[in-house]
Amino acid sequence: RPRIGPGDRIDYRNMSLINRFISEQGKILSRRINRLTLKQQRLITLAIKQARILSFLPFRNYENEKQFQAQSISIITGSRPRKNRHIPQLTQKYSSNRN
């Protein structure tokens, strides 16, 4: 449970503080999870965005994203029964009307 102490400076250069408020996927964690005040959350969000723009932080965490995609693809395509949908063949009756 990350907390901001009275001596902690919320700044884009304070990477040890910023990394506590980012998920494994690189997303900014919500105020409810962080247990921050509204003002602290705004400052954290601003610092994270500045660090991303200045390339101190990546916009996404590609390593975890690849693992997440691989897991979700295997879940989606795994043991799900496929529906065989019958597509009716066109008969001469229907094809002759098109001419």
The per-residue pLDDT for range 16-70, each reduced to its tens digit, is 888 899 988 889 999 999 899 999 999 999 999 999 999 888 888 777 656 656 6
Q: Are 40 and 10 in contact (CB under 8 A)?
A: yes
pLDDT at 40: 92
Domain spans of the chain, in order of start: 15-75
Residue 95 pLDDT: 55
Give the pLDDT of residue 9: 85
pLDDT at position 7 is 79
2: closest CA among 46, 23, 42, 11? 23
Q: How far is CA 50 from CA 18, 24, 55, in A?
A: 11, 19, 9
Q: Domain 15-75: give its CATH superfamily.
A: Ribosomal protein S18 (4.10.640.10)
Quote the tokens at residue 47.
């610092």
Tell whether the torsion through CA atoms of 1, 14, 38 and 22 is positive or negative.
negative
- 12 alpha-carbon distance from chain centroid: 21
Mean pLDDT of 75-90: 61
